[in-house]
Amino acid sequence: MNTKISETQKEDEFSSETPNVVHQESVVKMGDNQHLSDEKRSNGMMPSRQTDHTGDPRNWPLWGRAWVAFLVSAMGFMAQLGSSLINPCYTIMAEDMNISVEQASYCTTVFMLFSGFVPMLIVPFSNIYGRRNVYLICTVIAAAANIGSGAAKSYGTVIVGRVFYGIGGGIPLGIGAATICDLFPQSERGFYMGIYTLCVNNGPHLAPIAGGYIALNLSWRWCYYIPGIIQAIFVVILFFTFPETLFSRTDFNSLEKTPYWKKLFFHGKVLSGRSVVFPKDFLAPYRMCKYVAVSLPAVYWATANTYGSALFALTGSKIAAEQYDFNVAQTGLLMGVPLTVGCMIGETSAGWVSDWILNAYARRHNGVHKPEIRLALLPGCLLLLAGVFPYGPLVQEKKPWIDLAICMGVAGVGVQMAATMVYTYTTDCYKPQSAEVAAIINAYKSSEFRPLAIASVMGERNPADPVTSIRIYHRFLCRAVWRDRRMEHFIPRPWDGEWDFVIGDHLSLVQRREDSREAGPTVLTR
């Protein structure tokens, strides 16, 4: 006997308040039998997208939902653009502030750190107090932080501004996918999720192009001012045209039947029947990691983004300057145009294609929409490997720059298809937990990026090599933690078969540091 579960029951069963989260397409146990819970069509096989609630975002006209999706995508694009606009200007900034290029590069890595993990702390509030209030507050923080970094007179003040920019700018990256899920049903979600991921992915790709020309014609400080001004404009637009998208079919909505102009000034709980519970709600994103349908795609996307996007961004500047003698503007074009074009081509074969395959499957299987059908995009993701593998040999053999550009473009196609596939698949699997899922995917991506960022500023030529990864952390430990390059002489270096000290040696580490200043390091072989 088939047991069908309505969408309302499913929202209740799999709400964020439920500690035992299971796959929405997994088996639901009824007595001695097990039955598959699938979404059915409105003709009796699947609940209609329309509900009796006037406040349901899925009841809004298409133009209204598309506008909100555009705003979310634009905020994600600006967050990424503002994080990377300074990348081509590290040298100029370092000279102006009397710091090293390595220190200047921390302006980007600090953003990556805070934008990756802060959204997981904000998700519990966005699930109760609403998406609109969170977007407004955090966009104000991001705009102020950018303008503050641009006006900073010291390096420390710039870094403080970048910390707050990571806090504010990371929110569209953390809960943007959840907002798309608020607006669109599963059958339409792939197209709009694809637009969102395209904007988020192309922010860092277009940033070097604009950043190079800004630095040449204005100043590196305008790489902070311009995103700050645009985000300040976003605050005004959001206030007047961004309605609340958080909605529950099981809990009372405080905005139900509220006039639009009153919603603009609403503050407080959108879902009045819920409260933020510490530490349970703050651990919810971490609990999602135990589900393979979340953790495995997150690891895959983090790896794909690192080697298909961040690798080119972090190595392209040095290669373009040293191997091709490009100026700042030309470097920005090489780093930005191929990846942007590749991602745009990739999206033409991703979001809407994913929806078409999903709906075609549903028509042949009595209206069943299985999230796993989204994985049909996997063959296209292999283009990432086709672009990344030749990149290193081409650089080593000093081939023309057009060869590198082609590799980057091909990899961009695979990266974009991977992004759309991962976000749509995981949020289809766990729709009520879409905010937690999106936040944990964003955190995975940021965590995977940092070793390459450290490798770049340390001057490593092959950050993808496992042995180099050990060297990266060794050098980062010495320079960033102890702030002393000489410490490299007293930390074991297993990659070259040598040890700079022997455990049990009676000479203290401090004494060895003093001796090294006069005689230099003494290498003791094993």
**Helix (H) or strand (E) run with residue 310 in it:** none
State whether 463 and 504 are in the same domain: no
State whether 493 and 437 are in the same domain: no
State whether 179 and 317 are in the same domain: yes
- On average, the pLDDT of the chain sits at 75
State whether 438 and 509 are in the same domain: no
Query: In the numeric block, which tokens belong to residue 457?
Result: 């500023």
Q: Which residue has the higher pLDDT, 213 or 512?
A: 213
Weakest-pLDDT range from 2-11, 26-35, 190-199: 26-35
What is the pTM assigned to this prediction?
0.75
- Bridge partners, 476 (sequence order): none
Ramachandran angles phi, psi of 14, nearest 5°: -110, 30
Chain Cα centroid distance, residue 31: 42
The count of C-alpha atoms lying within 13 angstroms of the C-alpha of 179, restricted to the half-sphere facing its C-beta, is 33
* Cα–Cα distance measured from residue 246 to residue 317, given in angstroms and rounded to the nearest whole number: 42
**Helix (H) or strand (E) run with residue 524 in it:** strand 524-525
State whether 414 and 519 are in the same domain: no
State whether 298 and 433 are in the same domain: yes
Q: What was the pLDDT predicted at 245?
A: 87
Weakest-pLDDT range from 19-23, 181-185, 210-214, 503-507: 503-507
For the residues 127-149, what does the mean pLDDT come to? Answer: 92
* Cα–Cα distance measured from residue 237 to residue 242, given in angstroms and rounded to the nearest whole number: 7
Is residue 361 a part of any domain in this protein? yes
For the segment 421-463, what is each residue's pLDDT rounded down to a tens digit? 999 999 999 888 888 898 888 888 877 555 554 444 444 444 4
Is residue 142 a part of any domain in this protein? yes
Contact in structure between 308 and 411 (CB atoms under 8 Å): yes
pLDDT over 90, % of the chain: 26
Q: What was the pLDDT predicted at 510?
A: 34
CATH number at residue 195: 1.20.1250.20
Is residue 343 a part of any domain in this protein? yes
Is residue 278 a part of any domain in this protein? no
Is residue 104 a part of any domain in this protein? yes
Weakest-pLDDT range from 9-18, 253-262, 322-331: 9-18
Contact in structure between 221 and 326 (CB atoms under 8 Å): no
For the segment 67-80, what is each residue's pLDDT rounded down to a tens digit? 999 999 999 999 99
State whether 461 and 490 are in the same domain: no
For the segment 103-117, what is each residue's pLDDT rounded down to a tens digit? 888 888 888 888 888
Is the link from the previous residue into 279 a cis peptide, with omega within 30 of 0? yes
State whether 450 and 494 are in the same domain: no
Contact in structure between 313 and 449 (CB atoms under 8 Å): no
Among candidate residues 347, 355, 407, the one with its CA nearest the CA of residue 380: 347
Q: What was the pLDDT predicted at 471?
A: 46
Q: Which residue has the higher pLDDT, 256 or 281?
A: 281
Is residue 120 a part of any domain in this protein? yes
Query: Which residue stretches of 324-400 are H helix?
Result: 328-347, 351-364, 378-381, 383-388, 391-396
Contact in structure between 213 and 329 (CB atoms under 8 Å): yes
Is residue 42 a part of any domain in this protein? no
Is residue 62 a part of any domain in this protein? no
Chain Cα centroid distance, residue 48: 32
**Is residue 414 very low, low, confident or very high in pLDDT (cuts 50, 70, 90)?**
very high
State whether 301 and 175 are in the same domain: yes
For the residues 353-376, what does the mean pLDDT come to? Answer: 89
Q: Domain count of the chain? A: 2
pLDDT over 70, % of the chain: 73
Q: What was the pLDDT predicted at 33?
A: 33
State whether 367 and 497 are in the same domain: no
For the residues 483-490, what does the mean pLDDT come to? Answer: 40
* Cα–Cα distance measured from residue 301 to residue 37, given in angstroms and rounded to the nearest whole number: 27
State whether 395 and 501 are in the same domain: no
For the residues 181-188, what does the mean pLDDT come to? Answer: 89
State whether 113 and 194 are in the same domain: yes
For the residues 199-205, what does the mean pLDDT come to? Answer: 89
| Residue 504 backbone zone (phi > 0: left; psi -120 to 50: alpha; other: beta) | left
Angle value at C-alpha 295, between 293 and 298, nearest 5 degrees: 100
For the segment 44-59, what is each residue's pLDDT rounded down to a tens digit? 333 444 566 667 888 8
Q: What was the pLDDT predicted at 58?
A: 85
Angle value at C-alpha 12, between 436 and 36, nearest 5 degrees: 90
Q: Which residue has the higher pLDDT, 407 or 56?
A: 407
The residue to which tokens 């455990």 are assigned: 503
Query: Which range marks the domain in which residue 308 is found?
Result: 70-252+290-467
**Is residue 316 very low, low, confident or very high in pLDDT (cuts 50, 70, 90)?**
confident
Q: What was the pLDDT predicted at 422?
A: 92
